[in-house]
Amino acid sequence: MSFFFFLFLAVAFLGLAAPSAATVHKVGDAAGWTIMGNVDYAAWAASRTFRVGDTIVFTYNSNFHNVLEVNKVGFGKCSAAAPIATYTTGNDSIVLKSSGHQYFLCGIPGTAMRLSSPAPSGSPSAAPAAPIGSPSSAPPAVAKPGGAAAPAPQRSGGAARAPSVAT
């Protein structure tokens, strides 16, 4: 566990009464999902408002990272043992389908990052988000974000269902 890089993103969100256009959020902006480059994911998340219907895009070098959706317990333990969904393309788009927290981590030993993505209850965004184009090819120190299109996630562990909700 001492090899895991822990980062907990806690974000407070305000719900809006009227629907608005869905937003695409690229995790870590230009750096993407990586342990290189001193990305401050807490500051990144604090600068955004997430809503049901928004899309979170993880870009990363799939030789070094992945994205696992886990439950609250798995997130708290930084455990990749029983993921709800596994994403491995290097350019993974995840739609926030319900209010509450969704928990994500990198399951590669020694490089784990964590993201808790809460969406407030209330009105969802009006339209689905369009996918982001290819990520920047400028490499952070070692890892380069990939650019492949994201297929449907491989579900493993537990029943297939919409993204997790924990409040």
pLDDT tens sequence across 7-51? 232 222 333 334 568 999 999 999 999 988 778 777 887 888 889
Do residues 123 and 15 touch, judged by C-beta distance below 8 A? Answer: yes
**Residue 103 falls inside a structural domain:** yes
Mean pLDDT of the region 139-164 = 35
- How many structural domains compose the chain? 1
Beta bridge partners of 118: 101
Instruction: Give the span between the Cα atoms of 106 and 113, in whole angstroms.
Output: 5
Residue 12 lies in a domain: no
Domain hosting residue 63, numbered range: 24-155
Main-chain phi, psi angles of 31, to 5 degrees: -70, -30
Beta bridge partners of 119: 100
Alpha helices, H only, 31-145: 41-46, 72-77
Distance separating alpha carbons of residues 104 and 67, to the nearest angstrom: 6
Predicted pLDDT of residue 127: 44
Give this prediction's pTM: 0.61
Q: What is the CATH number of the domain that holds 134?
A: 2.60.40.420
